Amino acid sequence: MAERQERGSTEGTVVADKYPRKILEYMEGFLISKTVFASCELGVFDVLLSAERPLSAEEISEAVEASLDGTQRLLAACTGLQLLNTHQDNGRVLYSNTEEARVYLTRSSPLSLYHAIQYSSRTIYLSWHYLTDAIREGKNQYEKAFGVNSKDLFQALYRSDEEMMKFMHLMNSIWNICGKDVVTAFDLSPFKVICDLGGCSGALAKQCTSAYPECTVTIFDLPKVVRTSREHFVTEADQRIAFHEGDFFKDPLPEADLYILARILHDWTDQCCVELLSRVYKACKPGGAVLLVEALLHEDGSGPLTAQLYSLNMLVQTEGRERTAVQYAALLTAAGFTATQHRFTGKIYDAVLGRKET
């Protein structure tokens, strides 16, 4: 008996002596997110870019109109996160952007994630305050987070012109980073007439016309999205991109060789997905296809972590979920498509292709 007690005591000591590094990192992960969010919102990286030289904390605090003490702490944290470099100058500490911060965190960079960060900070972060409620109730949390009814999902998502613009900028940022990989995961050159359903800002359409010079792309989206895209995102120089206004659950779809649904199906229930894909199948030319662009989950449930977290976000914000390639294939098959294939890109978003027989 004494031996068992002693062994138990020793085992307890071993457990107590362990340092829960991973758990602590997870607990404090939001601190990192908000540090990045605040730095972008204040314009720290933009100030350093425009200065074209390292700046002191005093210079940065004045430029971003923030307290010196707060700015010093923020700059120290950004240095620890390897987003800023430090330089010694006669006993003073000066700061400059790392290359990664310059490319992805400054507003003027072609690959800027600034707008995606703004959406994460001001919309997703607020929604996730109600994650526990979303899990308990099994539904999105727009009403609690923003005081809007989510019966019409996109009425809630686009609850103001400002919110719609933020979302469109988010999509633009994502496809500037990941778009080329998903449109070249399969050889889409045989498809000359492409329809991008829910094409939003047109960023993915531009990736298509760049990768496949002989194709034309029609962006099908809600009227107010089309108007905003024409005004702010797609220029007259994009001559092979056209627009078609409508609701893809209600209105006739343009005939095309290929339909792209990028980050569309993950918003909806299986029933809604089959309904939409059936409409696509009916409009699709014989021999045509549909390309789904989504963050694919592994079949065994082991990951990727990003897709697993995105699936929680779909619970908080939409009616849908992230799915496996097999689950998307089942949805495509239920709508009539055959010969389903999938490709992992190694980045956030992957590709699934289904064909309509000739």
How far is it, in rounded angstroms, from Cα 192 to Cα 256?
A: 8
Of 115, 169, 244, 266, the catalytic one is: 266
Query: What are 259's strand-pairing partners?
Result: 195, 290
Token pair 């085992």: residue: 11
Specify the DSSP class assigned to residue 340: E
CA-based nearest residue to 176, from 156, 155, 206, 134: 206
Q: Contact at 8 Å (CB) between 183 and 289? A: no
Q: Do the Cβ atoms of 177 and 116 come closer than 8 Å?
A: no
CB 35 within 8 A of CB 74: yes
Contacts with 74 (C-beta within 8 Å, 6 or more apart), sequence order: 35, 38, 39, 42, 44, 66
User: Phi and psi of 288, rounded to 5°?
Assistant: -85, -170
DSSP state of 151: S
CA 344 to chain CA centroid, Å, is 16
DSSP state of 234: -
Using H for helix, E for strand and C for coil, what is the string for 45-79? HHHHHHHCCCEEHHHHHHHHCCCHHHHHHHHHHHH
Give all strands (DSSP E) within the chain, no chain letters: 55-56, 84-89, 92-97, 193-197, 216-221, 241-245, 256-262, 284-294, 338-343, 350-355
User: With DSSP H G I counted as helix, E B as strand and the rest as coil, what are the percentages for the chain, rounded to 5?
Assistant: 50, 15, 30
**Run of H or E including 211:** helix 203-211
Contact partners, residue 129, CB within 8 Å, separation at least 6: 145
- Specify whether 266 is catalytic: yes
Strand, helix or coil for residue 146 = helix
Give the catalytic positions in this structure.
266
